[in-house]
């Protein structure tokens, strides 16, 4: 990484503490990613993005702000990127995936809270994440209780706009959500000084649809046996999707897919078990479960998570004569995401069964971040449904620490032997 200290300083970062974070990441990345055999050449772009995660991309965000643009931090796949982009702002996904930030998060939050929330609050209050420091506005949502209350705390440090999410998906809830999207547009127009038009919204929808399509293409390639790309690499790409430049990212995912299409012609069969992961999001640099599973005799072939299928499935319809039609298409697309924060959430159970079949999974790992209530309560419904379909399932509840890695390895090993 180049010398970015001046830039970090100007962002108000705690440089000393940030140095400690920078010392951990490359080592973790090297041990997790660069030790994999036979990676596609197309992964070099994503290696580069990671090597510059606190450098070049932050420089791009700074340049954007110097030119009068705004940067928005988001935490959930329900916040519509199409609107942010159409109004000339850059959206970056900020969910914290590192154990590094937990200690600071626990200084002001209860310990028995999901690590994702503790890490995101820790990242802000410790001033060690240049993405947080680059944001003009954070956009929270009222999905789960922990997040809902965390916005009040974050608001003491930086401006937060909260989107009021419905908890059900009846037509009156969807209408309410559409109103909420309109309110978000109003707030963003004020912040950016730009006006949403039919043209800029349609262009933005098309751009982001292309990105989702590229990810879908990548995931479709994982349906081959054996999959031409590791689950670790696919997860990394999904994580990078949340903050990289949209066009450049899309182009590089498509380039990688071209290479994988060639690769599948010469792949030799192997006996690796095909595993599907479902559950809570895995924010960067949370690679723990994938690392454990893929260092056993298995390959992760799909993630039904927010850092997986929930992020890219279903495009926003490009049909519509008016700006209101397009806004309504956006509201519809986002309400089609099946998060455990909704009740009931039968769509997710159907998705899991559908993906398990499509990706030919031998078994499913239900990944639950510790203290995440919506997903842990929903486990029962998923368990019952998969039992009926004869799809083997195991529940892994964990956080970001490595303390339980040995135990998880033993459990996954036994599961793989059984399936």
Q: Which residues bind ligand SF4 (CB under 6 A)?
A: 76-78, 114, 116-117, 143-144, 146-147, 280-281, 306, 339, 341, 369, 372, 374-375
Residue closer to ligand SF4 by CB (options 138, 369) is: 369
State in angstroms the smallest separation of the CB of 150 from ligand SF4: 8
Question: What is the rounded CA–CA span in Å between residue 61 and residue 69?
Answer: 9
Shortest approach of ligand SF4 to residue 76 CB, angstroms? 3
- In terms of CB distance, is 150 or 292 closer to ligand SF4? 150
- Determine the angle formed by the axes of helices 231-240 and 43-51, rounding to 10 degrees: 50
Q: How far is the CB of 168 from ligand SF4 (least distance, A)?
A: 14
Q: Closest distance between ligand SF4 and the C-beta of residue 309, in Å?
A: 11
Smallest distance from the beta carbon of 141 to ligand SF4, in angstroms?
7
Backbone angles phi, psi at 364, to 5 degrees: -125, 135
Give me the sign of the Cα torsion angle 237, 243, 248, 250: positive
- Minimum CB separation of residue 372 from ligand SF4 in Å reads 3
Question: How many Cα atoms within 13 Å fall on the side-chain side of residue 224?
Answer: 19
Please give the Cα distance from 180 to 298 (Å, whole number): 43
Q: Are 102 and 371 in contact (CB under 8 A)?
A: no
Of the two residues 116 and 125, which places its CB atom closer to ligand SF4 in the complex?
116
User: Which has the closest alpha carbon to 398: 246, 286, 239?
Assistant: 286
Q: How far is the CB of 206 from ligand SF4 (least distance, A)?
A: 24
Nearer to ligand SF4, 100 or 151 (CB): 151
Q: What is the DSSP letter of 34?
A: I
The CA-CA-CA angle for residues 241, 247, 251, to 5°, reads 85
Which residue, 129 or 369, is less far from ligand SF4 as judged by CB? 369
20 neighbors 127 (Cβ within 8 angstroms): no
Closest CB to ligand SF4 among residues 233, 303: 303
**Dist. CA 318–CA 306, nearest whole Å:** 23
Q: Which ranges of 30-134 does DSSP label H, i.e. alpha helix?
A: 43-51, 56-66, 81-86, 102-108, 115-125, 130-133
Using the minimum distance from each CB to ligand SF4, give the nearer residue, 43 or 84: 84
């Amino acid at each position: 990484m180049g010398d970015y200290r001046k830039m970090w300083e100007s962002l108000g970062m705690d440089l000393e503490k940030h140095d400690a974070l920078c010392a951990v990441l490359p080592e973790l990345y090297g041990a997790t990613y660069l030790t994999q055999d036979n990676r596609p050449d197309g992964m070099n772009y994503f290696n580069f993005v990671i090597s510059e995660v606190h450098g070049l991309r932050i420089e791009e965000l700074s340049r954007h702000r110097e030119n009068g643009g705004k940067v928005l931090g988001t935490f959930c796949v329900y916040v519509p990127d199409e609107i942010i982009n159409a109004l000339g702002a850059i959206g970056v996904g900020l969910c914290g995936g590192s154990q590094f930030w937990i200690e600071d998060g626990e200084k002001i939050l209860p310990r028995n809270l999901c690590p994702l929330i503790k890490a995101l609050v820790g990242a802000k209050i410790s001033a060690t994440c240049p993405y947080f420091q680059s944001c003009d506005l954070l956009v929270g949502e009222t999905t789960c209780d922990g997040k809902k209350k965390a916005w009040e705390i974050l608001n003491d440090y930086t401006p937060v706009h909260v989107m009021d999410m419905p908890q059900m998906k009846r037509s009156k809830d969807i209408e309410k959500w559409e109103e909420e999207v309109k309110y978000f547009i109003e707030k963003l127009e004020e912040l950016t000084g730009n006006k949403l038009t039919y043209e800029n919204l349609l262009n933005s929808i098309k751009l982001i649809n292309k990105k989702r399509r590229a990810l879908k293409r990548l995931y479709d390639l994982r349906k081959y046996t054996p999959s031409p790309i590791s689950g670790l690499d696919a997860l990394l790409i999904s994580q990078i999707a949340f903050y990289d430049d949209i066009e450049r990212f899309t182009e590089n995912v498509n380039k990688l897919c071209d290479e994988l299409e060639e690769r599948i012609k010469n792949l030799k069969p192997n006996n690796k078990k095909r595993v599907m992961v479902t559950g809570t999001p895995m924010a960067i640099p949370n690679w723990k479960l994938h690392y454990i599973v893929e260092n056993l005799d298995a390959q992760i072939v799909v993630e039904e998570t927010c850092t997986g299928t929930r992020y890219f499935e279903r495009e926003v319809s490009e049909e519509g004569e008016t700006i209101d039609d397009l806004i309504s298409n956006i509201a519809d697309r986002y309400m089609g995401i099946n998060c455990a924060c909704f009740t009931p959430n039968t769509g997710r159970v159907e998705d899991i069964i559908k993906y398990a079949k499509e990706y030919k999974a031998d078994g499913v790992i239900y990944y639950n971040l510790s203290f995440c209530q919506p997903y842990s309560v929903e486990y029962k419904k998923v368990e019952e449904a998969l039992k009926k379909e004869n799809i083997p399932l195991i529940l892994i509840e964990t956080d970001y620490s490595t303390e339980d890695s040995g135990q998880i390895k033993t459990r996954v090993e036994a599961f793989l032997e059984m399936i």
